[in-house]
A and B are shown apart, each in its own frame.
Chain A
Amino acid sequence: MLEHEDVKDLVLDLEQRIDMMQNMGDAELGRFNGLDWVILILISIVIPVIVVVAAQ
């Protein structure tokens, strides 16, 4: 069973994390740009669909 103080600390910790993650810039979590999406869509959708249709 959690003590009242423990719950308060947990909430405080959670709120602190929420603020940090919410206010963090996207760049701080690694680069990811339009070229990445182009590459991913090409290798995951466009090329596979072409191959699937060709092999039908």
Chain B
Amino acid sequence: MNRQASSPQSASTKEFHGDLLSTYGREPLLPSEREYKTWSAHGSSFAYAIATWCFLTGGITAEYVGAVQGMVCLIAGNLIGTFLVSASLSQGCQRYGVEQIDFCKPAFGQNGARIVLIFYLFNMLGWSGLILVMFGNGIANIVQALGYQSAHWQVGLGVALGIWLTYVVTTRGVHLLAMFNSIITVALIFIIIFMFYMLLNAHGWDEILAAKPLDPLPVPWMNYAVALELGIASGMSWWGGIGFLARNTKSRRNAIYPEVLQLGLSFGVVCSIALFSGLVIGSNDPTEWMVPLGGVFMGVLALVFVGLANITSTSVSLFASGLALRHLPGLHTTGWKLIIALTCVPLMFFVFWPHELYDMGDAFLAYNGTMHAPVGGILMVDYFFLRKQRLHLRSIFEADPGGQYYYTKGFNILALSGIAIGQVTYFLVYDPFTDEASALFQFLPASIAAFLLPALVYWIGMKFWVQGGRHSRPLNEVALPGKLVVPNL
């Protein structure tokens, strides 16, 4: 083992329980170990983006606005939201090969990042559960399309099948995940074009353009504002998967362009198709309208691929969650299969109570929206403006109070307060639970306000308080020679 670790070449061979601790763990990932080149980076981002959540988002947008305004809100909003949260994460995780929660340590502190971790796991596993219920619903609809009686328990069984498929894909590693995603991507593109064609063929562009929103709010300007907020918040909700995708890319361009183009643009385009179907058919769920429009064979084929798309998205989420679990004591070197099995445990609730948990999805999504924006704003200021894209990598893995990112007992109170400030700001501008909004919401989306204010407070505080006080070293200080005192493995 000592011999293995003695040369740079051997760094990639370090393994426990047969798993490389770089690929399946938190160690900085060397460029030679990364899987994603241009095509696979685009393919994985696309396969991650396209799942039933597109149809959910598009369907909700159809309640507020028509086709043109909805398309603008979904595509433009997604692009804005995705870029704002991915700029710092993609560049930082790719440059230093670090896992997403480790990237949060310079801003939030060694222990503060663990608070972000709790939110992160809650977000990733919650989303995975919701998607798996949609996968289960799809299976029930396939059963119905084939002429059999669908039953309540089939959804739960579908969730269980989805968990098993995800487990199989995720435990086979990033290479298989990338290959699987690349194949699914091609099929999905054809299916989506086919769906759009069927929709246009059945209803025509004029009918889509003329369709009225399904359930608009009484205050006219609110509808456009809420739809735009939905678009931006959806874009920001990619925060959870961005670090994983970027860390596995070989080049800096592949770390960010695929995320903006696939998670931002492609997602917005597919959401728009769901918006159109919501407007003219009254259902955003393609598993309900594909069979009547496309016929049994094409309809079922489409349903199968939409279902598989949910599996690819969940696989990326679980892989990233598994890496994040490595932060917990005792799980640093645990076998990868056991780690992924642990991420599947909370998902089992969705097997037994799929509909009950799915019904709580709106509140879950709304709460998530209030968290991504402030974290994204703080990370952007921290990485680009305070540290000038230079991190002290050793301090990320240093649990000793002498590390640069230790702050106060391991917590950067300023950054953590920023999250609370962002959440309060969000609710003051727009309350997603009650649809009440301040006048400011007409001009400034709540996510943007919750992004900008914590970012500004954090920048001022770090410049004049933290940096001027105990942490008086330059924030973009480069590496100093030395050894880890208390390694945070």
Contact = CB atoms under 8 A, between A and B. Distances in A.
A53 B466 CA distance: 38
Interface stretch (B22-30, B319-327, B371-379, B427-435): B22-30
Interface string A35-47: 0100011011101
Interface residues of A, number: 39
A38 B379 CA distance: 20
B160 to A, nearest CB: 33
B483 interface: yes
A16 B2 CA distance: 12
Interface in A1-40: 2, 5-7, 9-24, 26, 28-32, 36, 40
A52 B255 CA distance: 27
B250 A13 contact: no
Interface string B330-354: 0001000000000000000000000
Contact of B5 (A12, A23, A56): A12
Contacts, number: 127
B105 interface: no
A29 B94 contact: yes
B253 A49 contact: no
A17 B27 contact: yes
B76 interface: yes
A40 B384 CA distance: 15
Contact of A20 (B16, B30, B87, B251): B30
Nearest to B265: A43
A42 to B, nearest CB: 11
Among B5, B87, B256, B260, residue most surrounded by chain A Cβ atoms (within 10 Å): B5
Contact of A21 (B68, B97, B252): B97
B239 interface: no
A13 B484 CA distance: 12
Given A12-B5, A30-B250, A49-B80, A18 B393 contact: yes
Contacts of B264: 44
B1 interface: yes
Contacts of A7: 489
A50 B264 CA distance: 17
Given A2-B333, A31-B252, A9 B1 contact: yes
Contact of A32 (B31, B82, B253, B392): B253
A11 B484 contact: yes
B393 A56 contact: no
A30 to B, nearest CB: 3
A22 B479 contact: yes
Given A45-B83, A55-B68, A30 B2 contact: no
Contacts of A10: 14, 21, 333, 487, 489
Contacts of A5: 1
24 contacts: A9-B1, A10-B333, A13-B11, A13-B21, A14-B489, A15-B394, A16-B11, A17-B11, A17-B22, A17-B28, A17-B97, A18-B394, A19-B479, A20-B8, A22-B96, A23-B479, A29-B31, A30-B252, A41-B83, A44-B82, A44-B264, A48-B79, A49-B76, A52-B72
Given A13-B11, A36-B253, A56-B224, 4 more contacts: A19-B479, A20-B28, A21-B30, A24-B31
Closest 6 CB pairs of A and B: A30-B251, A44-B83, A48-B76, A32-B252, A22-B479, A30-B252
